[in-house]
Amino acid sequence: MADPVSAEAEFRARLEALNARFTAQLPLMLEKTAQALAACVAGGAEPTLEQLTALHESLHSVAGSAATFGYAMLGQQARRIEQELRRAMQEKSGWNAIAPQVEQYLRWAARDPKATHYE
Protein backbone atom coordinates (compact mmCIF):
# COMPACT_ATOMS: atom_id res chain seq x y z
CA MET A 1 0.00 0.00 0.00
CA ALA A 2 1.29 3.44 -0.91
CA ASP A 3 2.36 5.79 1.85
CA PRO A 4 -0.33 8.54 2.09
CA VAL A 5 2.24 11.16 3.03
CA SER A 6 4.38 10.32 -0.01
CA ALA A 7 1.34 10.30 -2.28
CA GLU A 8 0.30 13.72 -0.94
CA ALA A 9 3.81 15.10 -1.44
CA GLU A 10 3.93 13.72 -4.97
CA PHE A 11 0.53 15.20 -5.76
CA ARG A 12 1.59 18.63 -4.44
CA ALA A 13 4.83 18.50 -6.43
CA ARG A 14 2.92 17.72 -9.63
CA LEU A 15 0.44 20.51 -8.92
CA GLU A 16 3.25 22.99 -8.28
CA ALA A 17 4.91 21.96 -11.55
CA LEU A 18 1.64 22.49 -13.43
CA ASN A 19 1.19 25.85 -11.72
CA ALA A 20 4.71 26.91 -12.72
CA ARG A 21 4.05 25.78 -16.28
CA PHE A 22 0.80 27.75 -16.49
CA THR A 23 2.49 30.85 -15.03
CA ALA A 24 5.31 30.54 -17.56
CA GLN A 25 2.86 30.13 -20.46
CA LEU A 26 0.51 32.92 -19.39
CA PRO A 27 2.40 35.76 -21.15
CA LEU A 28 2.23 33.80 -24.41
CA MET A 29 -1.48 33.11 -23.89
CA LEU A 30 -2.15 36.81 -23.35
CA GLU A 31 0.02 37.68 -26.35
CA LYS A 32 -2.10 35.33 -28.48
CA THR A 33 -5.18 37.19 -27.28
CA ALA A 34 -3.55 40.52 -28.15
CA GLN A 35 -2.59 39.24 -31.61
CA ALA A 36 -6.07 37.87 -32.22
CA LEU A 37 -7.57 41.21 -31.18
CA ALA A 38 -5.18 43.08 -33.46
CA ALA A 39 -6.26 40.88 -36.37
CA CYS A 40 -9.89 41.60 -35.57
CA VAL A 41 -9.46 45.37 -35.54
CA ALA A 42 -7.00 45.62 -38.43
CA GLY A 43 -8.34 47.62 -41.33
CA GLY A 44 -11.32 48.93 -39.39
CA ALA A 45 -13.79 46.55 -41.04
CA GLU A 46 -15.87 43.94 -39.32
CA PRO A 47 -13.67 40.98 -38.41
CA THR A 48 -14.13 37.70 -40.20
CA LEU A 49 -15.57 34.66 -38.48
CA GLU A 50 -12.09 33.12 -38.56
CA GLN A 51 -10.61 36.13 -36.77
CA LEU A 52 -13.37 36.17 -34.16
CA THR A 53 -12.96 32.43 -33.63
CA ALA A 54 -9.23 32.88 -32.97
CA LEU A 55 -10.00 35.55 -30.39
CA HIS A 56 -12.66 33.39 -28.81
CA GLU A 57 -10.28 30.43 -28.58
CA SER A 58 -7.55 32.52 -26.98
CA LEU A 59 -9.93 33.81 -24.32
CA HIS A 60 -11.33 30.32 -23.81
CA SER A 61 -7.89 28.85 -23.14
CA VAL A 62 -7.31 31.33 -20.31
CA ALA A 63 -10.84 31.04 -18.95
CA GLY A 64 -10.63 27.28 -18.77
CA SER A 65 -7.55 26.99 -16.61
CA ALA A 66 -6.70 30.28 -14.89
CA ALA A 67 -8.70 29.72 -11.70
CA THR A 68 -7.13 26.31 -11.15
CA PHE A 69 -3.73 27.95 -10.90
CA GLY A 70 -4.58 30.92 -8.70
CA TYR A 71 -5.71 33.42 -11.33
CA ALA A 72 -9.41 33.41 -10.49
CA MET A 73 -10.31 36.94 -11.60
CA LEU A 74 -8.25 36.61 -14.78
CA GLY A 75 -10.24 33.50 -15.66
CA GLN A 76 -13.57 35.04 -14.69
CA GLN A 77 -13.02 38.07 -16.90
CA ALA A 78 -11.80 35.96 -19.80
CA ARG A 79 -14.95 33.82 -19.45
CA ARG A 80 -17.20 36.90 -19.30
CA ILE A 81 -15.70 38.40 -22.46
CA GLU A 82 -15.62 35.00 -24.18
CA GLN A 83 -19.37 34.59 -23.56
CA GLU A 84 -20.14 38.08 -24.84
CA LEU A 85 -18.01 37.42 -27.91
CA ARG A 86 -19.80 34.13 -28.54
CA ARG A 87 -23.15 35.91 -28.34
CA ALA A 88 -21.92 38.62 -30.74
CA MET A 89 -20.73 35.93 -33.15
CA GLN A 90 -24.09 34.16 -33.04
CA GLU A 91 -26.08 37.36 -33.44
CA LYS A 92 -23.62 38.80 -35.96
CA SER A 93 -23.67 42.09 -34.07
CA GLY A 94 -22.13 43.69 -31.02
CA TRP A 95 -18.48 43.37 -32.01
CA ASN A 96 -17.83 47.09 -31.42
CA ALA A 97 -18.53 46.64 -27.70
CA ILE A 98 -16.20 43.63 -27.40
CA ALA A 99 -12.91 45.10 -28.65
CA PRO A 100 -12.64 47.75 -25.88
CA GLN A 101 -13.38 45.08 -23.27
CA VAL A 102 -10.55 42.90 -24.56
CA GLU A 103 -8.21 45.91 -24.61
CA GLN A 104 -9.10 46.74 -20.98
CA TYR A 105 -8.68 43.09 -19.98
CA LEU A 106 -5.21 42.92 -21.52
CA ARG A 107 -4.12 46.19 -19.84
CA TRP A 108 -5.40 44.92 -16.49
CA ALA A 109 -3.74 41.51 -16.94
CA ALA A 110 -0.43 43.18 -17.82
CA ARG A 111 -0.45 45.01 -14.47
CA ASP A 112 -1.23 42.03 -12.21
CA PRO A 113 -2.84 38.88 -13.60
CA LYS A 114 -3.29 37.50 -10.06
CA ALA A 115 -5.23 40.55 -8.87
CA THR A 116 -8.47 39.73 -7.11
CA HIS A 117 -10.25 42.92 -8.18
CA TYR A 118 -10.99 43.82 -11.78
CA GLU A 119 -10.99 47.45 -12.82
2: confidence class by pLDDT, cuts 50, 70, 90: low
In the chain, domain spans: 4-111
Distance, in Å, from the CA atom of 44 to the CA atom of 24, rounded to the nearest integer, reads: 33
Q: What is the mean pLDDT of residues 11-28?
A: 92
Count the neighbouring beta carbons within 10 Å of the beta carbon of residue 47.
21
Residues 25-84: tens digit of each pLDDT: 999 999 999 999 999 999 788 999 999 999 999 999 999 899 889 999 999 999 999 999
Question: What class, spelled out in words, does domain 4-111 have in CATH?
Answer: mainly alpha
